[in-house]
A and B are shown apart, each in its own frame.
Chain A
Amino acid sequence: MGDDYRFIGKATQRRDAVEIVTGTALYLDDLRFQNLLHGKVLRSPHAHALIKKIDKSKAEALPGVKAVLTWQDIPDWKGGTPRKLRVLDKKVRYVGDAVALVAASTEEIAREALDLIEVEYQVLPAVLDMDSALKHGAPLIYDEFPGNIIPGGTIAFGPNCLKGVVMGDVEKGFAEADVIAEGTFGYENIPNALPPEPVGAVAMWEEPNKVTLWSTSQAPYMDKGTLFHVFNRQVEIRCIGNHVGGSFGTKIMCWQVQAYAVLLSRATGKPVKVMFTKEEHMAAFTLRIGSRIHARVGMKKDGTLTAIHGTWYVDSGYYSFTTQAQVAVGSGELMIMAQCPNWDLKNIIVATNRNASGSTRGFGGQELKCSFIPILSLAMEKAALDPFEVLKKNYVKPGGGYFWRDGNWYQYRGIDYSAAMDKGAEQFGWKEKWKGWLTPTAVNGTKRLGIGVGVHGNADVGEDSAEAYVQLDCNGTATIFLCAAEHGTGQKSNYAKLVAEVLQIPLDRISMTPADSLITPFEFGPVGSRGTYAIGSAVINAAEDVKRRLFEFVAPKLGAEPQDLETVDGVVFVKGYPEKSLKWRALGYDRTLLGHGRFEPDFTVCNCMMSFVEVEVDTETGKVTLLRVVLATDVGQIIDPQGLEGQLNGALGSAGIDSAIFEETILNHSTGHILNANLMDYKWRTFTELPAMEHVVLETPMPTHRFHAVGVGEVATSPGPSAVLMAVSNAVGSWLHEYPVTPDRVLRAIGKVGYSARGGKK
């Protein structure tokens, strides 16, 4: 197992632990500002409409109102991929779309002013799902996107951004197959990752073109880049991060709420806070993409894949910013779990008149796999193969490869995850429990047990650049300059552990700058499980760089060569001669040393998570109970055992496993209203319904950085939902095609109720 380190792998207290348990950790809404105004958004009641007229005079006349902005009052600031979406437009495209912005001295007055704005709409026919959006002659959401199809590719991933997977010869592949399965499955329930803290921003504008932003963002430095383009490259932006009340991938981009705050501050000359209510958070902040795939899979009798052919339909809502990126990453992630020589996997990104999709934990791969693994399962069922064996066999191995987001082919140089999978299967008792396809593990009266397995992994662990500085002071302390906002993973504490290990100083001698783009170098943001390898490498490199500078400075004074030196607890000594030593104090009170660390993207290493689930299905009521979850992974080297445990337990919430059991955003398909945009009606797991949760974590050194670790936080959720669908189908003896497996769907699958139970869409 892992090396014996002084800090790494040890249970240490989170740096912010005392603040969190005493209520002094500061999240956005806890910050105080002088002369702060409050911003509110007037939202559209229609899914699709033109704004014919807005009369804001009454709102403006209300005492305390400082600004009312409509599409006519703002610069031509736009977001989206491609950049077509105005921050406020004369057209509204979903129920909840922003129509006007108000800044007032109190929240109450701002809210009251919204009611005084008179808007005349010309209501347009709406397309509320992919089928109606793609119909010939369907109403167009944008004139620029004929057929409501949004062009693929994002410039963020370069000119050859992966737009699908085409390689080999699928016809030849199907000819070589022993079994061919074909089907359509969807993951279209739009489960909401739903961090507890709503999204918001505070902006302080400074004439003529500067703005400082505090927000709920998990990626302050990236915001600077995103907003720079949104604001037509004319505004100088400083972004400051703080504690973030959960994100689960969603708060990597908060550009709309940030733009509202900036516009209102620019109009009033005062700092303005726009904080979404929970209802706005759930109905007007980005959602998960909708995913449906129709595909054909060819497989040999031994589980070898011979061909994958299909079309992936992606519902992006009324626009996209990251959808093309999710399609690129999701497609690559499918290649990682389904090594196959022949591919023709296309995709279509569809615009619909529902709220926009955005980044969410699982980032394309979870959505694609939840739809694809069931089709793969149909092939396994035909060949009477054990899914655990087939998933293990087809997961990328050293020497294998995949296309990644930039369109390039990468040869995988990581470890073989089979050992972790085997350990997981053993812990779960997979071999003993597996009784064959569509066969329950056990039947006790009306209760049937079923098991399922899923797998996921990504090469985003090494995505995007990261930079950090580490500064040494003569008093034996170090400061990390890093643009990281703590959003719950505990990574900020882990970075201190990495530096403490490199410099061999106690954790309490390490400080960290706030996440402030004016102070720190570039950092992309903690997404894609990249915190450990990508950001970790930048931090390690900075610590090593400053250590090298320290040794270069001290070496002549000790009459030694820099490479012969070592440092422990603020003392530098010659290796093997501890008496030949100097304290860091030798730097002098008037000198600090600064090390610079950078990480260049590396897509040749992947992580891996396999989920085993056992469910109980009540055939009388249709209720599905999750009994047990075993997660199996290999992290190379545990950095913080308790933090890791928390991240893995997160597999249930944040739109993970539970998105297959009861979580869904319910959209009224005739009006476009979301019917459960609140924490009462949106279902979430409580303390009384916890399944047994077990983790199998191996530590096989990885070819990453000097501590050989790889991150797995993001991927904990992703393999779960398809495993649940498999388990429930096995328990009831017939395939379920939709998520979540609500009682009506279960009863329908076993023929106890007819098709109209749910109303609306089939």
Chain B
Amino acid sequence: MTANKSDRVTRETAATRHVGFTVNGQYHEFRVGSGGIEISPTHTLSWTLREVLGLMGTKVSCDSGACGSCTVIMDGKAVLSCKVLTIECDGKTITTIEGLRDPKTGALDPIQQSFIDHTAFQCGYCTPGMIMTAKAFLNENPQPTEEEIKDALSGNFCRCISHYQVIRAVMSVVEKEGEHGR
């Protein structure tokens, strides 16, 4: 009984000492601590992505879960990387805006191409978050209505008002996919 308990404690301590996750197909493992090269328990995923892994495409605007600009895909779901602690990411698979291109050919993802074709951005600061949110949503629901797209993107702040062009860009991907399906 006693042995069992201490056993569990040891295992838990060991589990919190390291955190490992895959970003854009590459596995990273970090030690948890407060030293220079370690992941602090207070670090957010957005911080780790940007400051440790150098993935600057993930933009931080509010840093408090209100604007969607820091959205990445974790295990298939759109998450706000400023509201996720890095130590919570053990074993997860994460895709950032840098990981959307086809890894073999380097071709842009159809959503990225569609954002270009529709100039679905102005300052572009909200764009990575928009694209990641839309990508996760279309993976789940490849044939949504326009209203469903608006719902999915309703947490993404865009001050330039690129909304109309974003909707067109996403709808056009949906329509193209639909044609392929048929």
Contact = CB atoms under 8 A, between A and B. Distances in A.
Given A13-B116, A679-B157, A690-B150, A488 B163 contact: no
A29 B113 CA distance: 25
Contact of A23 (B62, B128, B158, B162): B128
Contact of A243 (B67, B116, B124, B151): B124
A30 B56 contact: yes
B9 interface: no
B159 A20 contact: no
Given A13-B116, A687-B150, A278 B64 contact: yes
A11 B161 CA distance: 19
A490 B127 CA distance: 15
Interface string B117-144: 0110111111110010000000000000
A450 to B, nearest CB: 23
A490 B108 contact: no
B119 A196 contact: no
A490 B119 contact: yes
A649 interface: yes
B116 to A, nearest CB: 4
B60 A29 contact: yes
Interface string B146-180: 00011101111111111111110000000000000
A438 B9 CA distance: 73
A25 interface: yes
Contact of A26 (B56, B128, B131): B56
A21 B154 contact: no
Contacts of A194: 159
Contacts of A247: 123
B63 interface: yes
Interface string B93-124: 00011101100000010001101101101111
A23 B57 contact: yes
Given A22-B98, A687-B150, A653 B112 contact: no
A18 B149 CA distance: 23
A488 B116 contact: no
A14 B119 contact: yes
A247 B123 CA distance: 9
B76 to A, nearest CB: 20
Given A23-B98, A487-B123, A246 B160 contact: yes
Contacts of B64: 278, 678-680
A196 B57 contact: no
B69 interface: yes
A475 interface: no
Interface in B32-72: 50, 54-64, 66-67, 69
Contacts of B150: 687-688, 690
Q: Interface residues of A: mostly helix, strand, loop or mixed? A: loop
Contacts of B154: 686-688
Given A646-B160, A687-B156, A278 B61 contact: yes
Contact of A24 (B57, B153, B157, B162): B57
B164 A649 contact: yes
A684 B62 CA distance: 13
Interface in A1-51: 11, 13-14, 16-27, 29-30, 32
Given A489-B122, A643-B119, A22 B57 contact: yes
Nearest to A19: B124
B112 A22 contact: yes
A654 B58 CA distance: 22
A245 B124 contact: yes
Contact of B161 (A14, A24, A652): A652
Interface size class of A (residues with CB under 8 A): 35 or more
Interface string A184-209: 00000000011111100000000000
B112 A21 contact: yes
Nearest to B113: A21
Contact of A246 (B115, B151, B159): B159
A244 interface: yes
Contact of A20 (B60, B62, B121): B121
Given A26-B56, A245-B59, A654-B160, A647 B122 contact: yes
Interface in A190-249: 193-198, 243-248
Given A20-B121, A246-B123, A645 B165 contact: yes
A687 B153 contact: yes
Contacts of A625: none
A650 interface: yes
Nearest to B56: A30
Nearest to B42: A108
A448 to B, nearest CB: 25
A27 B113 CA distance: 21
B151 A688 contact: yes
A653 B158 contact: yes
Contacts of B163: 649, 687, 690
Nearest to A244: B123
Contacts of B61: 196-198, 245, 278, 679
Contacts of A693: 164
B96 A23 contact: yes
Contact of A642 (B98, B118, B127, B159): B118
Residue from B56, B123, B164 having most chain A Cβ neighbours under 10 A: B123
B130 to A, nearest CB: 10
A296 B123 CA distance: 42
Contacts of B56: 23-24, 26, 29-30
A11 B54 CA distance: 34
Contact of B125 (A19, A27, A642, A649): A27
B116 A21 contact: yes
A687 B161 CA distance: 9
Given A23-B97, A688-B151, A651 B125 contact: no
Interface string A693-714: 1000000000000000000000
A243 B100 CA distance: 22
A649 B162 CA distance: 7
A687 B118 CA distance: 17
Contacts of B124: 16, 19-20, 25, 243, 245, 488
Contacts of B159: 193-196, 246, 248, 653-654, 684
A490 B122 contact: yes
Given A29-B60, A245-B123, 14 more contacts: A18-B108, A22-B101, A23-B96, A23-B98, A24-B57, A196-B157, A196-B158, A196-B159, A245-B59, A246-B122, A246-B123, A488-B124, A642-B118, A686-B154
26 contacts: A21-B116, A23-B97, A27-B59, A27-B125, A29-B60, A196-B59, A196-B69, A196-B158, A243-B123, A245-B124, A277-B63, A278-B63, A490-B122, A642-B118, A642-B165, A645-B165, A647-B122, A649-B165, A653-B159, A653-B161, A654-B159, A679-B62, A680-B66, A687-B150, A687-B154, A688-B150
Nearest 6 pairs between A and B by C-beta? A23-B57, A488-B123, A245-B125, A23-B97, A20-B124, A642-B119
